[in-house]
Structure 1
Amino acid sequence: MKTFKVLGGGCRNCEVTARAIEQAAKEAGVAIQLEKITDMAEILGHGVMSTPGVVLDGQVIHSGGVPAPDQIRAWMRD
């Protein structure tokens, strides 16, 4: 199971990112756990200065905007 965290204050881009990850996992048949992190101290603790940020299995893999669909699908394959 892959563990994702979407880091952000709950803005539209953060919500779009979370939904896109959920949809890509469903389409790929990959089990995921998705957590939305809105606490700024925790977000900054990951070193993310621009949201939304995405953490996969404890490692920051994206920050600063909505990731492209192809990029999200690649996270399901890796």
Structure 2
Amino acid sequence: MTTHLEKEHQLIPDGYYIGTYIALGVSLGLIFGMNIFDNLPMGLGIGLSLGVAIGAGLDGDAKKKGRVI
């Protein structure tokens, strides 16, 4: 049932974007932390916070538009 709603009606489950962008933020934070800052925990924290902020914003926007299952 949810697969049909996701594919045919372009609806997303609750927390979809935050889960995606946390993973993306952490991976980019690790790369930047190792290469630019030479401080892995600082890069990880920055990447995680950016991922949470972007994901929460996109999830909130999807809820306002009524695209959440």
Same fold (TM over 0.5): no
TM range (shorter): 0.3 to 0.5
User: TM-score normalized by structure 2?
Assistant: 0.34
Higher strand share: 1
**Could you say which structure has the larger radius of gyration?**
2
> Comparing both structures, which one devotes a greater share of its residues to helix?
2
Q: What TM-score, normalized to structure 1?
A: 0.31
